[in-house]
Structure 1
Amino acid sequence: MTKPIPARIAAFRANGENRFGVVTDEGVVDLTSEFGSRYKGLKDVIEAGALPDLVKAARGRAPDFSEDEITYLIPVADPEKLICIGVNFPDRNAEYKDGQEAPGRPSMFVRFPRSFVGHGQNLVRPPESEQLDYEGEVAIVIGRGGRRIPRDDAYDHIAAITLCNEGTIRDWVRHAKFNVTQGKNWDRSGAIGPWLVPFTDAAQLDDIGLETRVNGEVRQSDRTGRMMYDFRYIVNYVSTFTTLVPGDVIVCGTPTGAGARFDPPIWLKPGDIIEVEAEGVGILRNGVEDEA
């Protein structure tokens, strides 16, 4: 996937402190000292509309850290809302084999930030279940809030794009009749990152390739142009029932090919490496470990 990445803005930990800055090909430019008095984290930067200021400030500067010297954090540590869209690709809908046409409105659920880790950190398989599964997705981050946002204006409310491995404990999503919350919120079961890519052009979302690999094997591959509910619709629909605010994260659906759909199912296990890649966004890479 060769589409260039315009800019990479990351939250990370280095030298015992949480920081933020810009990732370049040479390393990481730390902008915490320059902007930290105004913004305690990237959520504040987004609310101020200052992502371009970070990109500009990092231009031409030597890196302060190599990537090996930092630990990536999820880009927005404390979103007011973290909303996930379920069953948003035609082949994914067909997996349910209920003869049902695409539903008129999307399935949705919420996740807690604690259920995610950053790029390069291990997902955690709990002792209660071996059924840890992957779901590669594109996520959008709201920059300008609003309620009942018109579809035609939706892109004006998106600040950035990132990636999500919406890791799931499969048997726990079936513990009740109508909800999946239990299987979607295990601590450190999924990942978001590695960074934020500022959103400036519709071509960054309208039809980009999305792929998930496990140990180098392609498991999921599709294009966002095939989504049943596109990004404009999602912003419009979600903002109908709740006010979107800066820093809200919406995870927008996964293609077919999760481990649960193999016969027999292929669950993630310690030592596995999962990569979620999208054109123009980058690669989110995580390992797996058992909970200590």
Structure 2
Amino acid sequence: MIDIGHLRQWIGREERQSEMLTPAVAERFNATFNRRDDTGNGAIAPVMIHLCLAPPAVPTEELGPDGHPARGGFLPPVPLPRRMWAGGAFTFHDDIRVGETVTRRSVIQDVMVKEGRTGTLCFVTVEHRIDSDGRLVLTERQDIVYRGADRPGAVTKPVSAAARGEYRVTVEPSAALLFRYSALTFNGHRIHYDAPYVREKEGYPGLIVHGPMQATMLVQLAGKIRGSRPALFEFRSLSPLFDDADFTLNATEDGAALKLWTSYSDGPVAMVARAEW
């Protein structure tokens, strides 16, 4: 039983963290995503690098068995075992530049419980305001969902294969790529790098591709197609991607915007997104 009244006491809770974006961090980000942009002081930083700056840094002894920080700090102590990045939106106001100090101010906006097809779901909405040397560079809404473990023998609905985008890129979710992104974001969640754990404890067929990394790749694809980063990017995660097969980044023109999605080559859609300029 979830005590939603208790969990809603976390609404309004705030966290603030800062970190200087050094050339070394920018270089490691570019290496992870096979980019060759300038990483010297003053250069425009690659879009979405803010997700790699000022992450929560709790002592190892305070991590839970899944590698996440133990619950009940900034985020509410939701008594459900699985936590995922369900969706969100980014509004880009300005560029971060290498050498600047980036500050993230995070506030819990809402906590609510719903009954879904697979059981009880708890949604936590967090708003992030990102400043760089005192300039507002982006605002972000992050939707986090908590849910129970899958029930043994649960029947899943058949899904159709995803469409093929006008623009399409194939990505190999190698263990090295997933590990590098976990290291960049200081993400200890074991589902992204610990294969025995993810199969034996979580019941998944392989390592899970990070939602933030998929979103980053889609924003990068949108920027490459249009020649500049979007002003708005919103997304929603529909199903997980694992490291047992290559996946694709897709985009299709939608008037002044782009529709984007990730999927295996034969479906289903994993993340759906929209970019506007």
Q: Would you call these one fold, judging by a TM-score over 0.5?
A: no
Higher strand share: 2
TM-score (structure 2 length as normaliser): 0.34
Structure with larger RCO (C-alpha < 8 A, sep 6+) = 1
